A and B are shown apart, each in its own frame.
Chain A
Amino acid sequence: MLLQLDNVSKSFGALQVINQVSFDLEEGVALGIMGPNGAGKTTLLNLIAGDLPLSGGSIRFDGADLNGVSAEQRCLSGIGRTSQIPRPFTGMTTYENVLVGAMYGSNLSEKEAEETCVNVLEQTGLLPRWNVEAGQLRLLERKRLELARALATKPRLLLLDEIAGGLTDHEVQELLELIRDIRAQGITIIWIEHIVHALVSVVDRIVAIDFGNKLAEGTPEEVINSDAFKQVYFGVESVKLD
């Protein structure tokens, strides 16, 4: 198992945001996490990436307990992430943004890092924007930059936080191609997304959560057809047609 979540919990004061969530993820699998607004999806991602400390339970990455491991060390050990609201280094060029990932995240010298950066920029379609200040990029380009930077750290596990959010249908299609391409490289993916059809077209498995609890887990079909999922998304116990 590449990633193991065991009874992971997170509370902010009295507010229980994640409640004893467990699941395992094999290397090479793409996992989708679904759930309504405020279900705790981003919190779960932040816990895996090390941006927030756990309140209970444990997370193991490649067999090693991540408790007390900082975000930057998790990045170095192979966990890359993108952020729901892109966080570009606005005063740096597109190239320099990716260079940060390559030099720090993959521990390369500036010379060695160049090749990685060129590859990643080409893959994400940002090569023509090399010299452009990241603050001037459009939303889709910023989302691509999030991916490019994370890829430059050479992740084994890539965490995608609502990367398709706010994009037009056409843009979502473009991004889907890119994500499929990344998957084909053998990178394990955890993807949080509201846009169900986008998610379902890429991932192998889905975990559905609501109010911090795991509702269902399985293939996209199994989860979408489960009673618990229907209850949350459509407000009905189950729909039986005959």
Chain B
Amino acid sequence: MNRDRRLILILSIAFIFFASFAFWAGRGTMNTLTEFFYLLAIAQLWNLLAGYAGLVSVGQQAWIGLGAYALLVSTDDIGLPVYAGIVVAGLVAGVLAIPTALLGFRLRGGYFAIGTWVMAEVFRLSVTASSDWLGGGLGRSIIVNNLFSSPSARITSIYIVAIVLAFGTVALTQYLMRSKVGLGLTAIRDNEDAAASLGINTYRVKMIIFILCAVGTGMVGALIALNQINIIPKSMFSVNWTAFMVFIVVIGGIGTIEGPIIGTIIFFLIREYLSDFGEWSFIILGVIAVGMMLIAPQGVWGLIKERVDVEIFPVRRLISAERLKSLGRG
């Protein structure tokens, strides 16, 4: 299909473009872009969860934190190579997402949101309780020298993993949307009861998405750990991670693939601009998000789509006029 080929081309060019940064860009640029891409990845995952599956989780920091600690243990303690550690981080988050979902799915709406937050706190407190092994509340540092040949190799490797995760998440979301699961997910987004009466096992679809999002977010957690070296429960399990995801998705446009991409760009621009305001910047970000929800709940991408008929990520199953005509005659 033409639209799909165009998208693959755009994504490939963008990926090659950003991958080339690894050869010529400075450390500062790469660090900023690393953050950009991992935020994009986790925002896109939260969008999948909240925007499509209707699972408004406020506990995604659980997977960031668990991913970070899983990486720490699997590399420093067990001695796995760093990339294996990132995969393990995703798996650990995915496995622990199952009991979390079994408990959380008994709750609805706002109760589910609070429930996920509580679960994240449970994970944080469990990690904090281990002072001998995991360093308790003070945390532990990753001995990165064992993992990378040089500091610049560390920055480049982390950057590459960040773009792989970000592009992987976007591509996965696009693929999902064109699959049966995505069709069901979009139906659940629009009307969950109607989806059930048409034969969709809404519980199972939500479970798949919840676990998938935990795996992705866990891998990003491992990446954040590698980037920060010091792993402290308070910052790794911070609800701020989810707050960032929510902000990005709400500003950009919830329930679309384009939304989180635009949202991440806006988030970065605003944050750069607000960096002089210190802690106040969070309040300003919050005011912007609330204002956006009241004025334009469909986000910036929604506003654009109202005016121009564009679709970068074609998720619709459209038919050509000629084909429709021939069907009508038949």
Contacts and interface: CB of A to CB of B under 8 A. Distances in A.
Interface stretch (B163-171, B178-186, B206-214): B178-186
Interface in A56-84: 70-72, 75-76, 80-81, 83
Contact of A72 (B183, B202, B324): B202
A141 to B, nearest CB: 16
B132 to A, nearest CB: 47
Contacts of B255: 91
Interface string A26-58: 000000000000000000000001010000000
B324 A104 contact: no
Contacts of B180: 103-104, 110
Contacts of B197: 49, 51, 71-72, 75, 80-81, 83
A118 interface: yes
Q: Give the size category of B's interface with A.
A: 20 to 34
Contacts of B199: 72, 75-76, 101, 104-107, 153
Contacts of B196: 51, 70-72, 75
B190 A149 contact: no
Interface in B316-330: 316-319, 324, 327-328
A4 interface: no
Interface stretch (A8-16, A92-100, A197-205, A231-239): A92-100
A99 B316 CA distance: 12
B195 interface: yes
Interface in B45-73: none
A90 interface: yes
A72 B200 contact: yes
A100 B316 contact: no
Contacts of A90: 190-191
A71 B201 CA distance: 9
A83 B194 contact: yes
B252 to A, nearest CB: 16
A89 B319 contact: no
Contacts of A130: 319, 324
A60 B67 CA distance: 49
B198 interface: yes
Contacts of B194: 83, 87-89, 149
B184 A104 contact: yes
A91 B186 contact: yes
Given A91-B255, A100-B183, A72 B317 contact: no
B189 interface: yes
From B184, B194, B199, B324, residue with most partner A Cβ within 10 Å: B199
A172 interface: no
Interface string B23-50: 0000000000000000000000000000
12 contacts: A72-B200, A83-B194, A87-B194, A89-B189, A89-B195, A92-B190, A92-B316, A100-B183, A100-B198, A101-B198, A105-B198, A122-B327
Closest 10 CB pairs of A and B: A105-B199, A89-B190, A87-B194, A75-B199, A104-B199, A71-B196, A87-B191, A101-B198, A104-B200, A100-B187
Interface of B: 180, 183-184, 186-187, 189-191, 193-202, 255, 316-319, 324, 327-328
Given A72-B200, A107-B199, 15 more contacts: A87-B191, A87-B194, A88-B191, A92-B187, A92-B316, A95-B319, A96-B183, A99-B183, A100-B198, A101-B199, A104-B183, A104-B198, A106-B199, A122-B327, A150-B198
